[in-house]
Homo-oligomer: A and B are copies of this chain.
Amino acid sequence: MPADPARVVADLLELRSLTSQPVDGIPQTVGGRPSDGPPLGSARLAWTEPWVRAREWFASTFEGVPVETTIDPAGNLWVTLPGARPERIVLGSHLDSVPNGGWLDGSLGVLAGAEVLRGLYRDGVELPVSISVVDWADEEGARFGRSLFGSAAVSGTLEIDAVRDLVDNQGRRLAEVVREHGVELETALTAGDVHSSIVASAELHIEQGPILEASGLRLAALHGILGVERRLVRLQGQACHAGATPIPLRRDPTIAAARMAVAIRDLGLEHDAFTTVGVWRVHPSVPTAVNGRTEFSVDMRHLSRDVLDALVAGLQTIVDTIAAEERVTSEIDTLWSIDPIAFEPDLVDFAADIVEARSGVRQVMPSGPMHDSAEMARTGIPTVMMFVPSIHGLSHTHIEDTAEADVELGVAAFDDLVRRMIPWAAGRLG
């Protein structure tokens, strides 16, 4: 029989009870229903004891299945069901969580992948290629600030020198902490030796946004991941006494920033893009003074490189124009820039067919958040993803949730997808 969606829900709940802790906060739902007991937040911060415990439990769910289980030099946990050839399809996501996170972010993809693998074994499917479920190490970056640690090591985009001296809130260095988990930074990139054997990659994830819920949809195929242009805008005016300097004589960087923030939202609306002002700092930030300095971050996302370029140019125009009108000086620093990532068209078609068959609507959309699948796709591995809805669009909080029926629908669709990918992958190997 194919993958058992109810088994995945049961596994997710077992993992939740094993690796969560009570949190202060509003009551939560689990599977769309009020939960018993106090609110629980997942506590699977990477490179900690609960995370290790989650992995040990995860490995135990393959009892009786002839898998090979290994941890690679970057700390990724691989569970492989060998096929006729060593080349593999990778079903990967992450068991680590943010502090006080939800029960589905990452775990859904790993535990769904595991059940798909077990289902293939139970059914006795003759596998022309191998199937690997991978728990990527430290996807969240919640401890040291570097997301996608393990998948980036495999794709080769992890810069060792840039992460070595990152410190956590306790002041401990990344290099020292990962060593306690068997990862030596000097050899971590050898995890990439597996790269050439990966023939395709797939990931099931929760949306972490409100689009599906708002449209009454239960399932989506993803055709890529939005590119990101992230900036820090720094404005300098003149601090002065709030009661002594008439408004027309001021050079107020906070008012300039406020006007820019509104214009940046309009810019996003105009281009059907995501534009967000998140960080916002003012100085001296006292009630009795006009501020002398204000700075804010701008995060801009879109699937089109051309639109991203238009957003960057539009931001420059907004900042230049308003800074001149308000007589403040401005600088724009680049914090991050990543091109849009397109998934493999054949696999997107497969996923869209399945989404339509399972849910009645051919919903194809991009992901705004980053995922380990980005590291696969950007280095040329044929990749695809699927989403199930997030209630209220929330994630990275203990009240993250998805209706149980939608979780199960997602698992069934993901199973369909993998079964359709297997002959396709074999065909590409010739």
A interface residues (Cβ-Cβ under 8 A, vs B)? 207-211, 214, 226, 228, 230, 238, 240-249, 252, 254-255, 257-259, 261-262, 265, 268-269, 274-282, 284-291, 294, 297, 299, 301, 335-336, 367-370, 392-396
Contact = CB atoms under 8 A, between A and B. Distances in A.
B369 A241 contact: yes
A268 B274 CA distance: 33
A254 B290 CA distance: 19
Nearest to A282: B280
A204 B102 CA distance: 64
Given A241-B395, A262-B262, A288 B278 contact: yes
Contacts of A335: 287
B282 A249 contact: no
Contacts of A243: 209, 226, 228, 274, 299, 301, 367-370
A245 B210 contact: yes
A313 to B, nearest CB: 19
16 contacts: A209-B243, A210-B246, A230-B287, A240-B394, A242-B299, A244-B393, A246-B274, A255-B261, A258-B259, A258-B261, A258-B262, A276-B289, A278-B285, A280-B280, A280-B294, A287-B335
B287 A299 contact: yes
A248 B261 contact: no
Nearest to A366: B243
A395 B278 CA distance: 32
A346 to B, nearest CB: 26
Contact of A242 (B276, B281, B294): B276
Contacts of A285: 278-281
A301 to B, nearest CB: 5
A211 B243 CA distance: 11
A394 B240 CA distance: 6
A275 B254 CA distance: 13
Contacts of A247: 265, 268-269, 274-275
B274 A278 contact: no
Nearest to A265: B255
Nearest to A370: B243
B280 A286 contact: no
- Kindly list the 10 A-B residue pairs having the minimum CB-CB distance in the complex, ordered from nearest: A243-B368, A209-B244, A242-B276, A258-B258, A258-B261, A287-B297, A244-B368, A280-B282, A242-B299, A243-B301
Contacts of A396: 241
Given A274-B247, A286-B278, A209 B258 contact: no
Contacts of A262: 255, 258-259, 262
A258 B263 CA distance: 10
A251 to B, nearest CB: 11
Given A279-B286, A287-B297, 14 more contacts: A207-B244, A211-B245, A226-B243, A244-B367, A244-B369, A255-B277, A276-B288, A276-B289, A276-B290, A278-B288, A278-B291, A279-B287, A280-B291, A287-B299
Contacts of A297: 287
Nearest to A269: B247
- Indicate the member of A248, A249, A278 with the most B CB atoms within 10 Å: A278
Contacts of A394: 240
Nearest to A228: B243
A335 B287 CA distance: 9
Nearest to A298: B287
Contacts of A268: 247
Instruction: Determine which residue in A243, A282, A286, A335 has the highest number of CB atoms from chain B within 10 A of its CB, and name it.
Output: A243
**Max chain B Cβ within 10 angstroms of own Cβ: one of A246, A257, A294:** A246
Nearest to A301: B243
Contact of A245 (B240, B248, B393): B393
A258 B262 CA distance: 7
A288 B299 contact: yes
Contact of A287 (B209, B252, B278, B392): B278
Nearest to A299: B242
